[in-house]
Amino acid sequence: MSESFTKGMARNIYYGGSVFFLLIFLALTFHTTKEMPQRDHRENLTESVARGKALWEDNNCIGCHTLLGEGAYFAPELGNVYTRRGGEAGFKQFFSGWLKSQPLNIPGRRQMPNFHLNDQEINDLAEFLKWTSEMNVNNWPPNIEG
């Protein structure tokens, strides 16, 4: 680098540039949080959905599954599991049966633990997954398999 470009100038680009882009980021964040209610449909966020999210967290489901593509890659994506496994017609029944039959104990297969949730809790968790599946996430994932 030439002598005309001094350390002082480089420092000013660092501090000035960072602050400038941080401010843009904050402005975009402000705008995004204003827009999100139309996309996350928070009007449907019931107490049951909130309890479901707490159950999701308390049992560390993200340690195996992905949710909207984030989490561990060991077990299926659950952001769209509501639509994949029956939707309005059959999801809750499938989900309850699935949770209660864990672990499947098939030799060599990945095992899901049994979390011993009661029917109310299973319903809350299902409501949380249903709510999650109804968010507008720009059509991700590409297909039903997640």
Partner 1 sequence: MSTLKFQSQAVAKPYFAFALILFVGQILFGLIMGLQYVVGDFLAGAIPFNVARMVHTNLLIVWLLFGFMGSAYYLVPEEADTELYSPKLAIILFWVFAAAGTATILGYLLVPYSTLAEFTFNELWPTMGREFLEQPTITKIGIVVVALGFLFNLGMTILKGRKTAINMVLMTGLIGLAVFFLFAFYNPENLALDKYFWWFVVHLWVEGVWELIMGAILAYVLIKVTGVDREVIEKWLYVIIAMALISGILGTGHHFYWLATPEYWQWVGSVFSAIEPLPFFAMVLYAFNMVNRRRREHPNKAATLWALGTSVMAFLGAGVWGFLHTLAPVNYYTHGSQITAAHGHMAFYGAYAMIVMTIISYAMPKLRGIGEANSNKSQVCEMWGFWLMTVAMVFITLFLTGAGILQVWLQRLPESGEALSFMATQDKLAIFYWMREVSGVIFLLGLLAYIASFFIGGKTAEKVS
32-51 residues near partner 1, rule: CB under 8 A: 32-33, 35-36, 39-40, 42, 45, 49-50
Identify the residue whose tokens are 């479901």.
Answer: 52
| Cβ atoms within 10 Å of 123's Cβ, excluding its own | 17
Residues contacting residue 83 through CB under 8 Å, at least 6 positions apart: 133, 144
**Which one, 105 or 118, has the nearer CB to partner 1?**
105
27 counts as binding partner 1 under rule CB under 8 A: no
Residues 65-104 that bind partner 1 (CB under 8 A): 66-77, 103
Supply the minimum distance, in Å, between the C-beta of residue 139 and partner 1: 8
**Which one, 32 or 101, has the nearer CB to partner 1?**
32
Options 13, 87, 100, 101; binder of partner 1; rule CB under 8 A: 13
Return the SS3 of 12: helix
- For residue 130, count CB atoms less than 10 angstroms from its CB and return exposed for 0-12, middle for 13-18, buried for 19 or more: buried
